[in-house]
Amino acid sequence: MTKATGGRPGAPAIIGAMTGAGMLGGWLLGAGRGLLGALAGWWLVLFTGAQLMVLAFSPSSYRAQAGAGVLREIERAAAPGLPGFTVLMALFNVVVIRIVVVTAFAYGLEPYAMDAVVRVLVLELIPLVAALYVAVDYSIPGGSQLFKWRRAGGFERLRAQGQDPLAREVLPRVLGGVLAVSLLAAVSCVISLLLTYVAVYGFTLAALPRYNRAVGHIFNPAVTLIFGLKTGLFALTVALLPVANALRDIPRKRTRTSVELQGLVQMFVLMLLIEMAALVGNYY
């Protein structure tokens, strides 16, 4: 066996270096493809959202069968889950309010009890819980059904009939999800404010003026604007992302479950960014 001379690397070292360079190149190529796929996915979300925004403000989207489809999807998104969600949120509110109020009274922080309850429940938790509930109960299953229906040729059949699939099938689902989140959040906020009043002041109307002043002090114009924007963006996120993923051309080797999980991760990331921006606006 001969040895390498003259300080030159031997064949094993050269092969190892080439193998390492190949692995690095493959990793970079895979990372680049993943980045391009992610950017393409977000671009599709933005493009679909822009198209739906135009359709949402078009009167032709609410005529005849299209208008009936919008009303049907709104009813499907909001009505079935409203009673159960209201009861669950009432129980959740009772538990959280009791913990916060008892803790505040135990440490002599009675003046801050109501402020803490309203800020924690109404400003932060209720919009997030309402959005996640609609996402799991309506938006994600609806996006999966839309994906299967599109793969079966549903969009082509609608186009052959002279109808726009976005206006006929996609827009009603997005509007239904947005209005469902808004409705559930509004009902939960009212229930939370009522339960907070009872927990802090009891069953009396004597403290109502003081309670109104305290709540009005919390919901100043800036906080109210941020709260409305956050709730609307949460609603748009959970309503639009599953639909946008349903419109993507998924390779056959990838299962629909993996795509749904990817959409769920995108949803959590976007909602986290929205929540962080809202926290900065409210407290900094």
Q: What is the pLDDT of residue 22?
A: 60
Question: 240: closest CA among 221, 206, 222, 266?
Answer: 266
Phi and psi based region of residue 4 (left: phi greater than 0; alpha: psi -120 to 50; beta: remaining): beta
pLDDT, residue 177, reads 92
Query: How confident is the prediction along the chain (284 residues), in pLDDT tens digits per residue?
Result: 444 444 455 556 666 555 656 666 666 676 676 667 667 767 877 888 888 888 888 887 777 666 677 788 888 888 888 888 999 999 999 998 888 888 888 888 877 888 888 888 888 899 999 999 999 889 988 888 888 888 888 888 988 888 888 888 888 899 999 999 999 999 999 999 999 888 888 888 888 998 999 898 889 999 999 999 999 999 999 999 988 888 876 655 555 555 567 778 888 889 999 999 999 988 87
Sign of the CA dihedral with 186 first, then 191, 193, and 196 last: negative
Cα–Cα distance, 175 to 243 (Å, whole number): 11
pLDDT at 13: 60
Separation of alpha carbons 141 and 202, rounded Å: 42
Full DSSP string of 154-189? HHHHHHHTT--HIIIIIHHHHHHHHHHHHHHHHHHH
As a 3-state breakdown, the chain gives helix, strand, coil percent values, each rounded to 5, of 85, 0, 15
Return the pLDDT at 164. 84
Angstrom distance (rounded) from CA 126 to CA 254? 35
- The Cα–Cα gap between 246 and 259 comes to 9
Give the start-to-end residue ranges of the domains of the chain.
62-283
DSSP structure string for 234-249: HHHHHHHHHHHHHTS-
- 40: tokens are 């393409």
